[in-house]
Structures are given as C-alpha cells and as structure tokens.
C-alpha cells in the first residue's frame, strides 16, 4: 500500500551535527545523530512529500536545529518549537517566517521545555500568529487539564495518541474523556502507536485505541517519531506508515489524515 502524494509525517526530530548544534549539559537523554538531510532522505524512502520537525526537549529552549532544517527544506517541512513567555515577539515572528506553526508544551518530567502554565501565558500570541499548541502529557493529566486549556481559544494538538496506558483498556475514564473531547472540540491527535504500545512491532494492544479515535474524530494525523529517542530497538518507519494505512481501511480517510489534515494544521502550501 503506497502513501498518497504529499503525505505528511507530522512528528519527527532532528539532531546535529553536534559541532554546530551542541546539546545543553542539562538534558534527559543523549540523542542520536539525526540531521535534516537524513530525515529528508527517510521521507523520500517511504514516499512522503512533507514532514514536521518538532523541537525535542534535549534542545532545551534553543530552536536553532529546527529553524535551520526548515531553511534547508524550502517549504517541504514545518516546525513546532519550544518557548517560554519571556520570548520576544520578534523571535516568534522570525520563526513564523521560517515555517514554525506551533509551540510544544510538555508535562512528562523531561528536562528542558515548557509546561502548560507557559501555554496560558503565551496563548494570546499563539492566536495572533495563527499557531496551535502541541501537548505532551500522560492521559490522566490531559483529561484533567484539557477543559481549562480549551478555554484559552488555541487549537490543540495531542502527542502520542494521548499517551495512555494500554493495560488500562480502551474504556479507561481518562482515555474516554480524551476521545469525547477530540470528537467535540478543536483538538487534533497525533497517531504514534510506538510510544504507547508494549507489543512491537505490530502494536496490537494499541489497535482498539486507534479504532476509538478513528471513529470519534476527523482531526487525526500520523507521525513516525523518528529517530525514536530512548528506544532500545527503533522501529522501521516504512512499517509504521504501512501499519497506519492498513488500520485506516477507508482510502478517503487515509488521504484526509495523511494529506488534508496536515495541510490545514501546519499551513502547508496546497501544492
């Protein structure tokens, strides 16, 4: 099964070269070398025309790696940066010109980054730029915080399918609340089963959660999470893409999730 033209991988990271982009001393992990040229070659290999590079926590508050990746890709990539409320407007505007379309906020205990309280402070500026907020937190935390965050009036994107525990089952109250909110609100969900599954490489424990989200929300996108930091056995990205396409049996929905939704969420050029 081939990907539709202009399919988009909506979640990847770039690291290095480390002589140009050194890692901060205070970080939660040591990333692999994963420069933008390698990522663009990976997209070519799986037949994807577009991608989204997300500033990883290992970069702290320095967006240099993703900004240079956006410059090198000449419109093929969009970016999600990390910032705190102290960032000047001019820096945000420069990011926008270069292809950033959102900021990431995390509540998972990694060093570096910005938490949900920073989103509340930055929300007016995100709205002014037309950006969205990307959220990474455990499902219980999301279920508790989303009603408050939705009142900020900023479009929300949820990392890693809501970062649930598959052992708690698809009827877990926190996951069901996420599904209900994703169905009714301006919430987008990134489908990355590798980050929640305990059963690689085919992730059967995540399939019921995929199906629940698929049945509830039209606002899904897919991400590879390349280069799979903090994983002992990194998955094959081509297999991940084919698995998502095989689980999404309707061709029109596959096109929507892989092409149309990324175009809207990340403000890509239509062609």
CA dihedral in degrees (151, 82, 235, 7; nearest 10)? 70
Rounded to 5 degrees, what are φ and ψ at 50? Answer: -140, 165
Q: Pick the closest to residue 4 from 268, 263, 252 (CA basis).
A: 252
- Measure the CA–CA gap between 101 and 70, rounded to whole angstroms: 11
Q: Are strands 8-12 and 50-54 parallel, antiparallel or unpaired?
A: parallel
Q: What is d(CA 82, CA 66) in angstroms, rounded to the nearest whole number?
A: 10
**Number of neighbouring beta carbons within 10 Å of residue 146:** 22
DSSP state of 113: S
- From residue 230, alpha-carbon distances to 82, 174, 195, 267 in Å are 20, 26, 10, 30
Those residues whose C-beta lies under 8 Å from the C-beta of residue 144, and which sit 6 or more positions away, are none
The span from the first CA to the last CA of the chain, in angstroms, equals: 23
Q: Where are the alpha helices (DSSP H) in the chain?
A: 36-46, 64-73, 89-98, 116-129, 139-150, 173-184, 207-216, 237-247, 251-255, 261-266
Residues identified as active-site: 225
Q: Which residues contact 202 (CB under 8 A, 6 or more apart)?
A: 243
Contact 247, 207 (CB under 8 A): yes
């Amino acid at each position: 099964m081939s990907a539709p033209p202009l399919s988009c991988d909506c979640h990847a990271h770039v690291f290095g070269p480390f002589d140009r982009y050194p890692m901060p001393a205070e970080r939660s992990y040591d990333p692999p070398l994963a420069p933008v040229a390698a990522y663009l070659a990976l997209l070519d290999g799986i037949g994807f025309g577009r991608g989204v590079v997300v500033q990883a926590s290992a970069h702290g508050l320095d967006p240099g790696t993703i900004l240079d990746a956006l410059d090198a890709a000449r419109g093929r990539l969009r970016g999600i940066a990390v910032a705190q409320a102290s960032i000047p407007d001019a820096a945000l505007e420069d990011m926008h010109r270069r292809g950033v379309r959102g900021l990431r906020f995390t509540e998972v205990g990694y060093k570096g980054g910005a938490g949900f309280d920073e989103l509340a402070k930055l929300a007016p500026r995100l709205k002014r730029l037309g950006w969205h907020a990307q959220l990474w937190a455990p499902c219980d935390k999301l279920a508790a915080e989303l009603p408050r965050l939705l009142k900020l009036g900023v479009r929300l994107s949820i990392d890693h399918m809501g970062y649930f525990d598959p052992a708690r089952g698809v009827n877990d109250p926190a996951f069901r609340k996420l599904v209900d909110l994703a169905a009714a609100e301006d919430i987008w969900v990134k489908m990355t089963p590798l980050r929640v599954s305990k059963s690689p490489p085919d992730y059967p424990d995540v399939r019921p959660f995929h199906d629940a989200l698929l049945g509830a929300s039209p606002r899904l996108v897919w991400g590879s999470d390349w280069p799979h930091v903090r994983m002992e056995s990194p998955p094959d990205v081509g297999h991940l893409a084919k698995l998502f396409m095989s689980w999404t049996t309707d061709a029109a929905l596959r096109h929507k999730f892989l092409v149309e939704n990324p175009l809207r969420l990340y403000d890509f050029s239509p062609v």
